[in-house]
Amino acid sequence: MHAFVTQFWPSTIDGLTIGSIYGLIALGYTLVYGVLRLINFAHSEVFMVGTFASLFTLHGLGITHAETGFALVGVLILMGLAGMAGSGITAVVLERVAYRPLRKRGSSRLAALISAIGASFFLQEVFALRYGRDLLSFPPLMNKTVLFHIGSGQVRADKVLVVVAALVMALALDRFVNGSRLGRGVRATAQDPDTAVLMGVNIDRIVMITFLVGGMMAGVAAMLYGNYFELTQYNVGFLLGIKAFTAAVLGGIGNIRGALLGGLTLGLIENYGGSVFGAQWKDVIAFTVLVLVLMVRPTGLLGEKLTRARA
């Protein structure tokens, strides 16, 4: 318990940082689940492709040392766009290849989940065979300057970037789903696909948009992850994917605000727990949270919003 007190502020800051990344990835799970009621098991690989796309952008730009000022902002934006493009395209292709044929045939959900697992392995192995199974490091792009202190915790620039970017993206997504015409289509499909069809919603297009937008959020998460940890690997998505899914369930799957809240909560629980039991138990804590949430409150903190009509 002593460690918990002394480590409180550093744990809080780290928890919010990693939690923001969980939250961004969780948005993809939540959107797809909301619309298709399908766990996109391969979403972790959508994220993984994003980290590689970000890494290749840095290589392509010939970054070898930390940048500052406008150069830094420009590179970050390019990196983010590359991540979004990589992840978004992967998600759309995934939907086309692994899900749509099953959806058209009205297959069982077991079949869809198995197809997703297959796609996940396939993507992982493509990258493992092409780029090896070792950790790949990012060139340092950003100086990890300490902006200010809260208690014993150091607030670093890269962590602030993660949290702020995640909040902005989640807000933008929330506006998109709740405010735009396409977003209305997404909500309509989530509530009742058959009626949505009768109302003239093109479901195939909505599903594609859902995957694309979810993938783009994972792409931003991938860029932030790369900038923060400066590492990636062919299986980087596996653990993050499960945790992000946990975050989505924790917040209430299908609920966009819930996904971010769930991510932040999970990040905090994991880090506080880690400071008490030791960092090697973090993953076990996260999985335990998943089991407990499903036992006690399977609808999550905020409830299943997108799917409320079809609970």
Partner 1 sequence: MRRIGLPDVIGPISDRWSRLPTPARYVVYVIAIVAAFALPADSIGSFMSPQSDWSAILFYPIGVYILLAIGLNVVVGQAGLLDLGYVAFFAIGGYTMGKIGLSLKWDFWVILPCGIAAAAVAGVILGAPTLRLRGDYLAIVTLGFGEIIRITANNLNFTGGPRGLSGIPNPPSVGSFSALQFNVATTKPFYYLVLVMIILAIVLVKRLERSRVGRAWAAIREDEDAAEVMGVPTFRFKLWAFAIGACIGGAAGVLFAAQTISITPEDFPFLLSSYIVVAVVLGGSGNLAGVILGAFLVAWLPERFRGFADYRVLAFGGALVLMMIVRPEGLLPSRRRRAELAEGTGGMGSLGGGVGGAQTQAVRIEAVETDAVQTGAVESEAAP
Cα distance between residue 237 and residue 124, in whole Å: 9
Q: Does 297 bind partner 1 (CB under 8 A)?
A: no
Name the minimum Å distance from CB 194 to partner 1.
6
> What does the radius of gyration of the chain's CA atoms come to, in whole angstroms?
19
Cα distance between residue 197 and residue 190, in whole Å: 12
- Total interface residues for partner 1 by CB under 8 A: 61
x/- track of binding to partner 1 for residues 134-173 (CB under 8 A): ----------------------------------------
Q: Does 196 bind partner 1 (CB under 8 A)?
A: yes
Nearest alpha carbon to residue 80 among 184, 185, 227: 227
Chain-centroid distance of CA 276 in Å reads 26
Buried b (16+ CB within 10 A) or exposed e, 219-233: bbbbbbbbbbbbebb
Q: Does 132 bind partner 1 (CB under 8 A)?
A: no
Name the minimum Å distance from CB 21 to partner 1.
19
Q: Does 91 bind partner 1 (CB under 8 A)?
A: no
Q: Does 199 bind partner 1 (CB under 8 A)?
A: no
Cα distance between residue 303 and residue 63, in whole Å: 44
Nearest alpha carbon to residue 257 among 160, 172, 192: 172
Q: Measured at the alpha carbon of residue 253, what is the angle toward residues 247 and 259, in degrees to the nearest 5?
A: 45
Token output for 283: 């993953």
Answer for which of 104, 134, 148, 181 binds partner 1 (CB under 8 A) is 104
Answer for which of 109, 144, 149, 297 binds partner 1 (CB under 8 A) is 109
Q: Does 191 bind partner 1 (CB under 8 A)?
A: no
Count CB atoms within 10 A of the CB of residue 111: 11
Question: Amino acid identity of 62?
Answer: G
Name the minimum Å distance from CB 141 to partner 1.
32
Q: Does 197 bind partner 1 (CB under 8 A)?
A: yes
Answer for which of 73, 77, 126, 147 binds partner 1 (CB under 8 A) is 126
Q: Does 266 bind partner 1 (CB under 8 A)?
A: no
Nearer to partner 1, 43 or 257 (CB): 43
Cβ within 8 Å of residue 63, ≥6 positions away: 75, 139, 141
Q: Which residues bind partner 1 (CB under 8 A)?
A: 36-39, 41, 97-98, 101-115, 117-126, 128-129, 189, 193-194, 196-197, 202-204, 207, 238, 242, 245-246, 249, 278, 280-281, 283-284, 287-288, 290-291, 294-295, 298, 310
